[in-house]
């Protein structure tokens, strides 16, 4: 008798029970829902926080800027009168000049020094790199209040260290917080000391992402260290440098804490507003004076537009110079 004749045919598979089939459909539905909608749940916290603490304050400030807004309760719609008032406000233009002056004295030297230090820390011959990278970031960790106290003592007129050093070269004591240029220099020194290390580490991270093969090939071709820096490092570092420039621009245009503490809490920035910045003037109009909150909101939006314009200008300038 053949084997095929003795082998029983396989029995058909039993159909799945209704419970098993329902679980499979539910599983496919949940999997489809997870793939399609779960990313939105992951990013939802950011948008909720941004909407509550970013977007809503911006919209609210824009609405306030169109009113003669009194914090006590009077809200009269005046259109763009607050913005036209800016053009004839000498205090606003004074704050604008002070902001740009401190910005120029702090941001430009800060970026150049950060670029130099990042290039130095990226060298292979430097020992104890981790120590120097930690040390250069320490000023940013220190409380800004402590920084202001220390620099306020250094720039004292009678017993300050800087005036004591200037006395050795025959320079009379400088009233650092009583004149425009001297106060700009003092505040810029404080800002540079705090933020140079921060920008240095960002630029250093960008430099370490540059392939080492490019430097090895350039060295074989006889390129000097200086030529490698100009022909390899700077062009490859352009995206990171643009990011640092824009970040420094935003911070420089919003400068508030350092000049406020340098003035010992005087929101006017000196007796004659020698170093009052736009952020300080916005605080004066929008918060210190309760009946000019609408005008303070207009100053806030003016700062925003100035930051956009200056950041765009710096972006185009750096992008063109790096070609």
Is the same domain home to 49 and 189?
Answer: no
Domain-embedded: residue 55: yes
Is the same domain home to 262 and 161?
Answer: yes
In this predicted structure, what is the pLDDT of residue 3?
46
The CATH number covering residue 232 comes to 1.10.3720.10
CA separation for the pair 83, 302 (Å, rounded)? 8
Is the same domain home to 165 and 187?
Answer: yes
Expressed as residue numbers, the domain containing 59 is 30-77
Would you say the C-alpha torsion 139, 145, 151, 154 has a positive or negative sign? negative
In this predicted structure, what is the pLDDT of residue 63?
92
Domain-embedded: residue 223: yes
Structure-token match 């185009």, residue found: 316
- Overall number of domains in the chain: 2
Domain-embedded: residue 166: yes
In this predicted structure, what is the pLDDT of residue 314?
81
Is the same domain home to 69 and 213?
Answer: no
Is the same domain home to 99 and 199?
Answer: yes
Contact between residue 229 and residue 219 where contact means Cβ atoms under 8 Å apart? no
Is the same domain home to 51 and 103?
Answer: no
Q: What is the DSSP string of 246-280?
A: HHHHHHHHT--HHHHHHTTT-TTSSTT-TT--HHH
In this predicted structure, what is the pLDDT of residue 113?
92
Task: List, in order, residues 6 or more apart from 236 with CB less than 8 Å away.
Answer: 206, 210, 214
Is the same domain home to 125 and 267?
Answer: yes
**Beta carbons within 10 angstroms of residue 292's beta carbon:** 20
Is the same domain home to 153 and 39?
Answer: no
Is the same domain home to 242 and 146?
Answer: yes
Domain-embedded: residue 113: yes
Domain-embedded: residue 285: yes
Domain boundary pick from 77, 94, 116: 77
In this predicted structure, what is the pLDDT of residue 287?
86
Domain-embedded: residue 7: no
In this predicted structure, what is the pLDDT of residue 20?
59
Domain-embedded: residue 2: no
Domain-embedded: residue 302: yes
Domain boundary pick from 77, 108, 140: 77
Is the same domain home to 201 and 294?
Answer: yes
**Ranges assigned E (strand) in 95-182:** none
Domain boundary pick from 16, 48, 77: 77
Is the same domain home to 143 and 289?
Answer: yes
Task: List, in order, residues 6 or more apart from 231 with CB less than 8 Å away.
Answer: 218, 223
Contact between residue 294 and residue 65 where contact means Cβ atoms under 8 Å apart? yes
Spell out the per-residue pLDDT of the chain, length 323, in tens. Answer: 444 445 555 555 555 556 656 666 666 666 776 667 777 788 888 889 988 888 898 999 999 999 888 877 778 888 899 999 999 999 999 999 999 999 999 888 999 999 999 888 887 666 777 788 788 888 888 888 888 888 888 888 888 888 888 888 888 888 888 888 989 999 999 999 988 989 999 999 998 888 888 888 888 888 888 888 888 888 888 888 888 988 898 988 999 988 988 888 888 888 888 899 999 999 999 888 878 889 999 999 999 999 999 888 888 877 776 55
Contact between residue 82 and residue 294 where contact means Cβ atoms under 8 Å apart? yes
Is the same domain home to 145 and 291?
Answer: yes
- For residue 106 the two structure tokens come to 């702090």
């Amino acid at each position: 008798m053949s084997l095929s004749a003795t082998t029983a045919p396989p029995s058909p598979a039993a159909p799945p029970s209704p419970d098993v089939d329902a679980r499979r459909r539910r599983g496919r539905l949940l999997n489809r829902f997870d793939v399609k909608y779960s990313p939105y749940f992951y990013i939802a916290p950011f948008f909720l926080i941004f909407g509550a603490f970013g977007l809503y304050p911006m919209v609210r400030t824009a609405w306030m800027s169109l009113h003669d807004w009194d914090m006590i309760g009077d809200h009269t719609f005046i259109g763009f009168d607050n913005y036209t008032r800016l053009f004839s406000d000498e205090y606003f233009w004074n704050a604008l000049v002070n902001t740009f002056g401190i910005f120029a004295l702090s941001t430009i030297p800060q970026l150049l020094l950060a670029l130099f230090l990042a290039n130095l820390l990226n060298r292979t011959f430097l020992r104890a790199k981790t120590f120097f990278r930690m040390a250069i970031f320490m000023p940013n960790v220190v409380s800004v209040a402590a920084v202001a106290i220390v620099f306020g003592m250094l720039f004292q007129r009678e017993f300050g260290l800087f005036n004591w050093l200037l006395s050795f070269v025959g320079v009379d004591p400088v009233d650092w917080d009583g004149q425009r240029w001297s106060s700009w220099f003092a505040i810029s020194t404080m800002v540079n000391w705090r933020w140079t290390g921060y920008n240095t580490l960002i630029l250093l991270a960008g430099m370490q992402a540059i392939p080492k093969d490019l430097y090895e090939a350039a060295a074989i071709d006889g390129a000097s260290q200086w030529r490698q820096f100009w022909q390899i490092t700077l062009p490859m570092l352009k995206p990171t440098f643009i990011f640092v420039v824009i970040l420094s621009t935003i911070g420089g245009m919003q400068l508030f804490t350092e000049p406020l503490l340098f003035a010992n809490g005087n929101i006017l920035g000196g007796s004659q507003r020698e170093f009052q910045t736009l952020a300080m003037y916005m605080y004066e109009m929008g918060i210190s004076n309760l009946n000019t909150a609408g005008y303070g909101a207009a100053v806030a939006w003016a700062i925003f537009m100035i930051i956009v314009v200056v950041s765009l200008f710096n972006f185009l300038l750096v992008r063109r110079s790096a070609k």
